[in-house]
């Protein structure tokens, strides 16, 4: 295992980058729980307030990130990332002292804006410091951090709230960002002379459109982004309804966490497997499409189960959720690899920002659509529809890929 997935950690620069990411990812999930507890329990506000927090978190990724991404490619990445982390500490302090929802939303927006700059800079840094042959492992480690902190963060956040009070996670989050700054100090200066020279030759608008143009001209990258964005939309159609899925499957309130943790644990195991066996890097879109087909079948079966057509023991539903997590990694990790491997170093920030904008837009629109559909056709109907859509999305992508392969072979013959 160590010879595979952990190989990039021998690289001192990547080690610093990854260490900072772990604390950054942890912070994101610590405050996500704290904000919801403050809004819903401490201030006694309803669903609209929670929805406004999620929307305000997403807007910078959709609008500001892509527009500011030109500067991500122009500025020194190390300095930019450290500045972003220091600003995040400041904005977390604002969230800690926020007296009402409106002030909280302002600091949530500012923190998300800085995060929308930090992540493209991190993606660009990976592209500059990791050798081409180690990209699959580097991307997998990055995904592993995200997936692991999705499990650890909420659990730790809940524990901190129970022990030290409702606002305590913000203090630990700020401390985590400070540790990330200290780790990044060890990161060597990343050489980006080409992009620095280029800023004197091209306008802002030319630089901005260059990243978008690249997405449309790089066939594999375009396929990965489209496939990923549609998959995100379908996932978030039912993601907000997961608590009702658990209820219908017979899970008590205190058992709901087990179902969510099963998905998270599966995604961690999936990332570890993909880091160990990297032959998928030769056909990453094939893996994404195949995972989509299998996910579709699984979501469809869960939807039919929610409808009451058949019953299973809770342990088997948890096993299904675990498998769903593995398949989520089988879509997420190859996507991250394609994003890195199919993008030139000097436009990495702009391309990753544009891709994140599309995905975040899907994630913002889908929950409202899912809630409306649930009122019309029920939770099981949404799941069945999402399962069928996911299955056909993967099937269509696979058919398209196989046809392209056949055409290429016939031309070669």
pTM recorded for the entire structure: 0.81
For the segment 33-66, what is each residue's pLDDT rounded down to a tens digit? 788 888 888 898 877 787 788 889 889 988 888 8
- The answer to whether 278 touches 136, Cβ cutoff 8 Å, is yes
User: Can you tell me the distance from the alpha carbon of 408 to that of 405, in angstroms, rounded to the nearest whole number?
Assistant: 5
Instruction: Give the helix ranges, DSSP H, for 165-283.
Output: 168-184, 193-198, 204-217, 219-239, 242-248, 256-276
Q: What is the mean pLDDT of residues 344-356?
A: 87
Q: What percentage of the chain exceeds 90 in pLDDT?
A: 30
Q: Give the pLDDT band of residue 28 (cuts 50, 70, 90).
A: confident
Domains 7-201 and 214-413 agree in fold: yes
pLDDT higher than 70, residue 179: yes
pLDDT higher than 60, residue 198: no
51 vs 19: which has the higher pLDDT:
19
Task: Identify the weakest region by mean pLDDT among 41-45, 120-124, 193-197, 208-212.
Answer: 193-197
Q: What is the radius of gyration, based on Cα positions, of the chain?
A: 21
Q: What is the mean pLDDT of residues 366-391?
A: 87
Read off the DSSP letter of residue 45.
-
Q: Give the pLDDT band of residue 1 (cuts 50, 70, 90).
A: very low
- The answer to whether 27 touches 322, Cβ cutoff 8 Å, is no
Architecture of domain 7-201 in this structure: Up-down Bundle (1.20)
Q: What is the mean pLDDT of residues 355-359?
A: 86
For the segment 126-174, what is each residue's pLDDT rounded down to a tens digit? 888 988 888 888 988 988 888 888 888 877 888 888 889 889 999 999 9
- The answer to whether 58 touches 363, Cβ cutoff 8 Å, is yes
pLDDT at 195: 47
Sequence ranges of the domains in the chain = 7-201, 214-413
For the segment 287-298, what is each residue's pLDDT rounded down to a tens digit? 999 999 999 999
Task: From 76, 78, 74, select the one nearest 86 (Cα to Cα).
Answer: 78
Q: What is the mean pLDDT of the chain?
A: 86
- Return the H-helix or E-strand segment holding 71: helix 65-74
Other Cβ atoms within 10 Å of 116 Cβ, number: 28
> Was domain 214-413 assigned CATH 1.20.1250.20?
yes
pLDDT at 413: 53
pLDDT higher than 90, residue 380: no
Task: From 403, 395, 381, select the one nearest 297 (Cα to Cα).
Answer: 395
65 vs 240: which has the higher pLDDT:
65
């Amino acid at each position: 295992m160590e010879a595979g997935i952990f190989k990039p950690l021998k690289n001192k620069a990547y080690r610093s980058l990854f260490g900072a990411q772990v604390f950054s990812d942890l912070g994101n999930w610590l405050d996500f729980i704290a904000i919801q507890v403050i809004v819903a329990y401490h201030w006694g506000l309803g669903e609209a307030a929670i929805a406004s927090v999620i929307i305000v978190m997403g807007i910078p990724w959709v609008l500001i990130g892509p527009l500011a991404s030109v500067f991500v490619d122009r500025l020194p990445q190390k300095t930019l990332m450290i500045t972003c982390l220091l600003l995040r500490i400041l904005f977390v302090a604002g969230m800690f002292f926020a007296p009402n929802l409106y002030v909280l939303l302002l600091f949530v927006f500012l923190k998300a804006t800085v995060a929308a700059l930090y992540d493209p800079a991190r993606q660009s840094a990976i592209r500059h410091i990791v050798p081409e042959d180690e990209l699959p492992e580097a991307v997998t480690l990055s995904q592993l951090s995200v997936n692991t902190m999705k499990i650890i963060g909420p659990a730790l956040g809940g524990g901190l709230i129970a022990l030290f009070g409702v606002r305590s996670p913000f203090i630990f989050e700020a401390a985590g960002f400070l540790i990330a700054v200290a780790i990044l100090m060890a990161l060597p200066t990343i050489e980006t002379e080409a992009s620095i020279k280029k800023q004197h030759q091209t306008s802002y608008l030319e630089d901005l459109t260059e990243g978008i143009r690249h997405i449309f001209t790089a066939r594999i990258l375009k396929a990965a982004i489209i496939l990923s964005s549609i998959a995100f939309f379908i996932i978030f159609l039912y993601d907000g309804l997961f608590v009702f899925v658990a209820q219908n499957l017979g899970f008590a309130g205190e058992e709901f966490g087990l179902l969510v943790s099963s998905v998270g644990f599966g995604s961690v195991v999936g990332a570890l497997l993909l880091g160990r066996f990297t032959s998928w890097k030769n056909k990453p879109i094939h893996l994404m499409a195949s995972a989509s087909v299998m996910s579709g079948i699984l979501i469809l079966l869960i939807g039919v189960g929610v409808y009451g057509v058949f019953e299973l023991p809770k342990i088997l539903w948890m096993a299904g959720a675990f498998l769903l997590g593995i398949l989520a990694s089988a879509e997420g990790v190859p996507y991250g690899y394609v994003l890195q491997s199919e993008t030139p170093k000097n436009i990495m920030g702009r391309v990753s920002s544009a891709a994140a904008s599309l995905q975040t837009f899907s994630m913002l629109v889908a929950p409202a659509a899912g809630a409306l559909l649930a009122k019309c056709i029920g939770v099981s109907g949404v799941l069945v529809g999402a399962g069928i859509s996911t299955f056909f999305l993967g099937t269509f992508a696979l058919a398209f890929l196989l046809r392209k392969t056949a055409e290429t072979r016939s031309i070669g013959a």
